[in-house]
Copies of this chain bind each other. A is one copy, B any other.
Amino acid sequence: MRWWGWGDPAHPPGLGAEALEFLREHIGVAPTPHPPVALAHVRLEPSALPEGAAAALRAVVGAQGLHMDHDMRVAHAAGRGYTDLVLLRKGRPEGAPDAVLHPADRAQVRAVLDVCVRHSLAVVPFGGGTSVVGGVAPLRGRHAAVVALDLARLSEIVDVDRESMAVTVQAGRRAPELERELGQQGLTLGHFPQSFEYVSLGGCAATRSAGQASTGYGRFEELVQGLDLVAPIGEVKLPAFPATAAGPDLRQLLIGSEGTLGVIAGLTLRVRPAPAQRLYEGVFFREFAAGVQALRALAQEHVAPAVTRLSDEQETAMSLALAGAGGVKGRLGRAYLGLRGYGVGRGQGTGAIGDVSGASGAGCLAILGFEGSETEVAYRRRLALALVRRHGGLPVGRSPGRAWVRQRYAAPYLRDELLTFGVMVETLETATRWSNLERLHGHVGGAIAGALEAQGTPGLVMCHVSHLYETGASLYFTFLAAQREGAEVEQWQAVKQAASEAIVGGGGTITHHHAVGRDHAPWLEQEIGGAGVAALRALKAELDPAGIMNPGKLLSG
């Protein structure tokens, strides 16, 4: 992965001249590109790792397993959140691990933790490094130094139990490598977060991840049958069972523990037959409210596609504007123009969230992605489309669906390009019950738009509904604005603060799938209460009495 941004350096640019012009017109872009500094120019403090500790760690992982060189430290200096990238590109990350460890196996992980307890070293478990909430920030807490524990070498597939449709893997394995292996056996895990290309399975468990297809395949925590955690006090091994009533479910306590209790080392995960059919298509709704009701009906009548997302009017318009002329835009634009007769694109719209883009009345595009056996897809699709039509939706064919599939992992690449042009782009998400969904959509969108304006950088704010449940769904917001040069972090903080307060005050969870990390930690107590936080702290004190595991994440202070 690029040290200063996302993904494969060979990825072709996606931001066309037309999109740039749109942004220049609506929010302003930097007059000249701001490329990242050269890697050699990234400034780091010298490693604070005491020589005694380094020797003890080297005795565990070998000389090849301990890295203190500049480039390796930079590569583990931050996750891939907006402020991470802003600081990396300037060559001034807020810090870096004093060493990067690559243990070869679970025994080495265990021994590393022992050394870290003895030498008072903070430990940041590091999987794909894709956190967007500061989950891998190299914070020392009260310790002498901080090390990143990179799990890349724990990548074995331990067992595939086809009869039970379960795979046992080491936690450092990357999702694409597991999917490739499973695919060769006609299986799939079905977990495709936007970070899919780099994410590790242990990271998905530690952050309670939900893939884009979670409506069909389940959230990551639903895939986990068993797991084990190497904690400073020892190993917690939870065997794989389809279900159990043996007390509180410790699986669901380690899932989402974000490296603060120990290192998730191994997982047994439910798999499924690779879908015989994948059928993605688009549906237009005149109004967001009608689309929301259609999605609710899909979920509650058990015919929701594996992937279901409904863009609000702003996001729909933006998709058209930002996509390259040869991509979504060309095809979608034609479909969209064809819809004017249907009443889309002419109305006033309700414009619940910042109408700066002129998107109001643009209509709302939904993507329905059916996956499964041919029988199942045919059944669901027939019922789903009938239901969508009853709610005023107009199926517009497969082009939008195909375009979405092609672009499903592209957003982080696009973000890098936008940063080069001085554009702030950030996403945040929540979930709430259906009866609160539209209200929360307006409330949070309004808070973001208002905060951007208060910063003197009015922006584009958009949202989609996805990850459907019978009782509710998630809301995923994206916003763009001109960066306040030299005050990018403060600008972001002001907006993040406003959005987070709107979320927890408006009946949403502080995060539906990005996890808590450092960025959401200040709001966790509002969500689970003082006694809930006390329970988590007690648990941490038991499993990690020295407090070395990922300090400053999940629990603030």
Contact = CB atoms under 8 A, between A and B. Distances in A.
Interface of A: 161, 163-166, 207-210, 219, 221, 225, 231, 233-258, 270, 272-273, 296, 300-302, 372-373, 375-376, 379, 383, 431-436, 467, 469-474, 507-516, 520, 524, 527-532, 534-539, 541-543, 554
Nearest to A521: B247
A473 B163 CA distance: 12
Nearest to A554: B247
A487 B217 CA distance: 52
22 contacts: A163-B433, A165-B471, A225-B433, A234-B530, A236-B535, A238-B532, A242-B432, A242-B433, A242-B470, A243-B467, A243-B509, A243-B512, A244-B527, A245-B509, A245-B514, A247-B258, A247-B528, A248-B252, A249-B252, A250-B253, A252-B253, A534-B542
Contacts of A541: 538
A420 to B, nearest CB: 30
A171 to B, nearest CB: 17
Contacts of A239: 507, 509, 527
A163 B431 contact: no
A397 B433 CA distance: 41
A240 B474 contact: no
A233 B511 contact: no
Contact of A473 (B238, B242, B272): B242
A524 B372 CA distance: 38
A240 B469 CA distance: 13
A426 to B, nearest CB: 17
Nearest to A214: B243
A534 B542 CA distance: 7
B166 A511 contact: no
Nearest to A269: B471
Contact of A244 (B250, B272, B383, B512): B512
B250 A532 contact: yes
B231 A472 contact: no
Given A245-B208, A467-B243, A235 B527 contact: no
A509 B433 contact: no
Contacts of A270: 470-471
Contacts of A511: 244-246
Contacts of A469: 242-243
Given A245-B512, A256-B245, A538-B542, A435 B238 contact: no
A22 to B, nearest CB: 33
Given A245-B511, A535-B539, 6 more contacts: A164-B434, A210-B243, A243-B474, A246-B527, A270-B470, A539-B542
Given A250-B528, A535-B543, A539-B539, A163 B245 contact: no
Contacts of A243: 210, 219, 431, 467, 469, 472, 474, 509, 512
A46 to B, nearest CB: 34
A233 B471 CA distance: 31
Nearest to A473: B242
A474 B434 CA distance: 34
A258 B208 CA distance: 25
A248 B474 CA distance: 19
Contact of A529 (B163, B235, B301, B302): B235
A258 B237 CA distance: 22
A244 B373 contact: no
A546 to B, nearest CB: 15
Given A163-B434, A471-B166, A509 B247 contact: no
B433 A166 contact: yes
A449 to B, nearest CB: 24
A544 to B, nearest CB: 11
A221 B251 CA distance: 13
A384 to B, nearest CB: 12
Contacts of A434: 163-165
A529 B210 contact: no
A385 to B, nearest CB: 14
A90 B434 CA distance: 54
